[in-house]
Structure 1
């Protein structure tokens, strides 16, 4: 690689930001991609914010520096920028060059399509959840205080585990362990339990990865 680059890293929670979960994997991916050649990493910006939020002070600062130095914004993964098509389109219209390590050959049309797919996926998940609740209510399932409280506790526990395992999953993927079956085997070997205190299987890992995507 050649030229000037500004790196942008994002994690979704304060806990991930303080512990370094996710950040180290993103930095390692950028450093590996830039390894060799005549290049300069003029700055690094870290954001602790959900991908759904449009207000990103650190990203704005990174973009301003890119424009000032005529540098390229580099990120580890496209979803570190946003899952919002309007946001991605606005970034592209700013005429600032950016490069995603996980898809370096993507052109502007490809990037817009990927962002649109991510946004539609998030919308579909929300719609399915609402439909499932409506169907349960139609069947006579009582969604009272006890059920609501239990559901919230399970949800909180699942989110807590998803946040705690974010860095581990990224490390496994960086090592080439990407299939849900292989990830399940590693988690079980390390003695890490599911939110229900059970062993991991392909289905439970898929739910974990989906939850991590929603939190990102």
Structure 2
């Protein structure tokens, strides 16, 4: 039987999850993992979850501008509770938004339950800087390729020529190329959708590829083709996602 009584060390928290697309929200991809992160952190740290909200919306919007996000913040204020999210990017990918939220509401991150405000702000700043760096590097690489092609660099000229030729071959080849790109994009999105479930299986004690496969199968999570997981499939996906098992020191 559940009661409202809890010890003085217990912190009341409001759970908040966000998925980026309606399809992802309806299928539960990503959402189930977020909820499990939050629930496990609550159990391990003595947090009392007094409310739960889920948004299906882009992370570009500040949380106060999201339908369920606004309700979650209102409940935090009303109950003097702290907001809790699975990962920092569920709040926002913008350092500005996160910094502003820090001034108005206390919040916790389930994957970093003991992180202080300064540490969370620093982590958000580094993540944003990395995204901006990758974007800028991509633009610079394309500019360099064009400059080399214009100066007569053979390999660059050939790369530009192949791209131009593909565009000039007509609608059929263009559609074929679009189809290939769409397949790659779907594969990439699927890979990201199983990142958190695999990570959770490892955090729960999975120390071999087969144990992770059994964990995923037990959760009802299927492979990209809708089948059961094997150790080999887990190995391939973990390599693509750069996921690894913890070292013995980390386990201890």
TM norm. shorter chain > 0.5: yes
Kindly name which structure, 1 or 2, has the bigger radius of gyration based on alpha carbons: 2
User: Which of 230, 233, 241 is residue 205 of structure 1 equivalent to?
Assistant: 241
Q: TM-score, normalised by structure 2?
A: 0.66
Post-superposition CA distance 1:147-200 (Å, at most 9, x none): 5957654443333223323342211111117xxxx69x96784786xxxxxx66
Q: Contact conserved, 2:41 with 2:111, CA < 8 A, in 1?
A: no
Structure 2 residue aligned with 1:64:
74
- Structure 1 residue 105 and structure 2 residue 114: aligned? yes
Alpha-carbon spacing, 1:45–1:151, altered in 2? closer, same or farther (3 Å): farther
State the aligned residue count.
197
Gaps of 5+ in 1: 193-198, 207-216
Gaps of 5+ in 2: 1-8, 148-155, 169-173, 204-208, 214-222, 224-228, 243-252
Alpha-carbon spacing, 1:15–1:35, altered in 2? closer, same or farther (3 Å): same
User: Which of 182, 189, 192 is residue 163 of structure 1 equivalent to?
Assistant: 189
Structure 1 residue aligned with 2:125:
116
Post-superposition CA distance 1:117-137 (Å, at most 9, x none): 111111111112112222232
Report the more deviating stretch, 138-147 or 82-91. 138-147
Q: Contact conserved, 1:5 with 1:39, CA < 8 A, in 2?
A: yes
User: Which of 6, 10, 13 is residue 2 of structure 1 equivalent to?
Assistant: 10
Q: More relative contact order in 1 or in 2 (CA 8 Å, sep 6+)?
A: 1
Q: Please list, as runs of the form range in 1=range in 2, the aligned pairs for 1:66-215 lying within 5 A after superposition.
A: 66-94=76-104, 96-138=105-147, 139-140=156-157, 141-142=159-160, 143-144=163-164, 146=166, 149=174, 153-176=179-202, 189=230, 202=239, 204-206=240-242
Q: Secondary structure at the residue paired with 2:125?
A: helix
Q: Hey, what's the Cα distance between the residues in 2 that align with 1:116 and 1:2?
A: 30
Structure 2 residue aligned with 1:209:
none
Q: Secondary structure at the residue paired with 2:194?
A: helix
Q: Hey, what's the Cα distance between the residues in 1 that align with 2:128 and 2:77?
A: 27
User: Which of 35, 41, 57 is residue 27 of structure 1 equivalent to?
Assistant: 35
Q: Secondary structure at the residue paired with 1:51?
A: coil
Q: TM-score, normalised by structure 1?
A: 0.75
Q: Contact conserved, 1:9 with 1:75, CA < 8 A, in 2?
A: yes
Q: Hey, what's the Cα distance between the residues in 2 that align with 1:151 and 1:84?
A: 34
Q: Hey, what's the Cα distance between the residues in 2 that align with 1:137 and 1:92?
A: 44
